[in-house]
A and B are shown apart, each in its own frame.
Chain A
Amino acid sequence: AQTVTQSQPEMSVQEAETVTLSCTYDTSESDYYLFWYKQPPSRQMILVIRQEAYKQQNATENRFSVNFQKAAKSFSLKISDSQLGDAAMYFCAYRSGGSQGNLIFGKGTKLSVKP
């Protein structure tokens, strides 16, 4: 079975600085997807970024980028120029490829942004 591990329950960053959230996963599959979701205090689940396992290039979405290390099964999220609105819970997620893939979440990292 696949597992997703986020080893940092809480992180803190100064506004305008850069922070990296860690995520590791375990799988024997070759076809899968990885995601980072953000959950602000409103508790809405918002997709931040996605990465296909077959792509070597790291995904980037504006200030958010990932460091995808397939061999190490690592998928970290880097937030540059942190803003107060980035304060939230961040969940790393794994999904098997194909049309029926399950979606598995890590336990989350609570990010605080200090002004």
Chain B
Amino acid sequence: EAQVTQNPRYLITVTGKKLTVTCSQNMNHEYMSWYRQDPGLGLRQIYYSMNVEVTDKGDVPEGYKVSRKEKRNFPLILESPSPNQTSLYFCASGTSGSRPDTQYFGPGTRLTVL
């Protein structure tokens, strides 16, 4: 089954404790992306990657890091989480160069930073 998986689905942590949210896709997609969804703000892009070792900032990259060492994985790293990073996070993947309606979303990770 074609899918995007995220782990963990739920996470409660404390300010300053480094964490990683994993994202994996099994569709051999070149393009992967991270979004956050906040009430009243919709979905905002954090980082995206066009292919292995190619990443770029989205609209709200501050406080986040990403890496793309393998095609299927695109982890989101919060080196020193803060309460304003409490949000619902979505990973997505798609085929580069084709229409954007090929983008598939993961189920989401709800992060709470105390």
Q: Do A and B bind each other?
A: no
Residues of B within 8 A of A (CB): none
Residues of A within 8 A of B (CB): none
